[in-house]
Structure 1
Amino acid sequence: MQRVSTTLLFELAFFAFACLVGSPAQAAESEPGFTSMFNGKDLAGWDGKEGWWYVEDGAITSQSTPEKPCIKCNYLIWQGGKPGDFELRLKYRIVGGNSGIQFRSQMRPDWDTYGYQADIDAAGQWAGALFEHARGGIAMRGQRVVVDENGKKQVTSLGDSAELMKHIKKEDWNEYCITARGSEITLAINGVVMSQAVDREKGKAARDGIIGLQVHPGPPMKIQFKDLRIKVFDQAKP
């Protein structure tokens, strides 16, 4: 795997600093261009499967238990549009299991989705990775991946996956920053760039779509999200 250039490292450091400066302690209205996606009180502006999503202590919450297991993925869908180019900031906390944030995705029946996902994983394997339902892991934590029109990948390193994982707090609140502009997608957690992709594959690289929050099947788990806000940009040329 090739090493990333000094110039790219500088650009990534600048991007991470921008995400960190826009801390969740600031209200969306104090961040120029950002719009709040969640009122902190109820699920107004969101739609999900009854009985699976609720607000607890000011956070959007979903939980699976031995008595109420999650047997298939389902999503809470934001009703604010289908943004293409944007920066999304939020806080998440996960205890057990796996979750994620869908974006530029398609809606499917029964609150299912299909598309890009900024991954969240309590075990660490997928945390900070860019996943997509048709192609699996596009860029794992520590990777910058360029996908050409035919689906061929060129992979360079952003850093050691295990070292990057140390920046993610276990069973505590973490800040996720997702930036999508044209073909380029960057995922950062707690101000540290975790993965990046330039996706140009014909017929598979989506340029807009829904945003959703995931509860994943498997062992008992709890996922929470708060301080969600988005800044939508003018659509970049492909």
Structure 2
Amino acid sequence: MKDFRNLKYLFILAIISFTACAQEETSEANQEEEDDGFVSIFNGKSMDGWEGDTDIWRVEDGLLIGELTADTDLKSNTFLVWTGGEPSDFELKVDFKITEDGNSGINYRSERLVDIPFALRGYQADIDGKNTYTGQNYEERKRATLAYRGQQTKINPQDPPGEIRDFVERNAWRGLELTKELGDRDSLRTLIQEEDWNHMHLVIKGNHLQHFVNGILMSEVMDEDPVNRSFGGYLGFQVHVGPPMQVAFKNIYLKEN
């Protein structure tokens, strides 16, 4: 019995030590971000500085969580919108985790719709639980896919000009010109953890849009469309219409250039 108690005591000490080390590493990482010019835009305690549907979004255990349940009646994609500004040139770093059936994304340089609550229209770094689309550049309610994962693209304007949706084919912009292969789409997929934490890093400067996941460049866009491109706008996290799901975000840091 004494040996068992000793083992139990050592096990508890090990857990306490591991937790303390993890907290220390997180604190050190956060300090490094701040020293590099990044500013935390989520306090880990409340949704101060954010605006969204509180039936969908909440803060729990230091995480920003968006969730759909079997009882959620969501008619259109909804966003938690950052109210601290409308970034133009910036970098965003954030950790995310999403369930298998989840569909989400990070919108930026987006406009808010006036007829639909908490809806954004603009560039999106895609996130999904099956990692079919995670890392690609998809323009919500606009030109659709601008770069699939593993692609560097140049986005050409409509010719002839017309309605945006008339220039979308198979959920992609017809002006998408592949300029370079960044890697095999399926091979890049294996570098993204399923139902576990991943790290997204957006580097947005002028018409140059880069999406990194876990330190790997997943998509890159040069937007040469003077009519439809955007150089500033709202930042927000998406919950997409669909089955029950949950997406969580933490360690959200922004650096405006």
Q: Shorter chain as normaliser: what TM range? A: 0.7 to 0.9
Matched residue, 1:59: 63
Matched residue, 1:14: none
Q: Deviations over 1:141-191 (max 9, x none)?
A: 000001234573320210000000011000011000011000100000000
Contact 1:71 1:218 in 2 (8 A): no
Match of 1:153 among 146, 159, 176: 176
1:102 aligns with 2:94: no
Match of 1:70 among 60, 71, 74: 74
Where in structure 2 are the equivalents of 1:1-238 lying within 5 Å? Answer: 26-27=29-30, 30-95=34-99, 96-109=101-114, 110-133=117-140, 134-150=142-158, 152-155=175-178, 156-233=180-257
Most deviating of 213-222 and 26-35: 26-35
**Partner Cα distance (2:177, 2:189) in 1:** 23
**Per-residue deviation at 1:26?**
1.3
Instruction: Give the TM-score normalised by structure 2.
Output: 0.78
**Per-residue deviation at 1:49?**
1.5
Contact 1:24 1:175 in 2 (8 A): no
Contact 1:69 1:220 in 2 (8 A): no
User: Which one has a bigger Cα radius of gyration?
Assistant: 2
Higher helix share: 2
Contact 2:147 2:176 in 1 (8 A): no
Say which SS state the counterpart of residue 253 (structure 2) adopts.
strand
**Per-residue deviation at 1:57?**
1.4
Aligned residues: 211
**Partner Cα distance (1:180, 1:226) in 2:** 20
Contact 1:82 1:208 in 2 (8 A): yes
Q: Deviations over 1:102-154 (max 9, x none)?
A: 00000113110100000001122211100003111100000000123457332
Say which SS state the counterpart of residue 167 (structure 1) adopts.
coil
Instruction: Give the TM-score normalised by structure 1.
Output: 0.84
**Per-residue deviation at 1:68?**
2.1
* Moved >6 Å (runs of 4+): none
Contact 1:119 1:128 in 2 (8 A): yes
Structure 2: which amino acid aligns with 1:122?
A: G
% identical aligned pairs: 36
**Partner Cα distance (2:147, 2:35) in 1:** 29
Contact 2:131 2:194 in 1 (8 A): no
Evaluate the alpha carbon distance shift between residue 25 and residue 122 of structure 1 in structure 2; reply closer, same or farther with a 3 A threshold: farther
Contact 1:24 1:91 in 2 (8 A): no
**Cα RMSD between the aligned structures?**
1.7
Gaps of 5+ in 2: 1-25, 160-174
**Per-residue deviation at 1:82?**
0.3
**Partner Cα distance (2:27, 2:236) in 1:** 19
Structure 2: which amino acid aligns with 1:158?
A: L
Structure 1: which amino acid aligns with 2:177?
A: Q
**Per-residue deviation at 1:66?**
1.1
Evaluate the alpha carbon distance shift between residue 153 and residue 71 of structure 1 in structure 2; reply closer, same or farther with a 3 A threshold: closer
Q: Deviations over 1:59-103 (max 9, x none)?
A: 100111112243321111101100100000000000022100000
Say which SS state the counterpart of residue 27 (structure 1) adopts.
helix
Gaps of 5+ in 1: 1-22, 234-238
**Partner Cα distance (1:153, 1:79) in 2:** 32
Say which SS state the counterpart of residue 26 (structure 1) adopts.
helix
Structure 2: which amino acid aligns with 1:26?
A: A
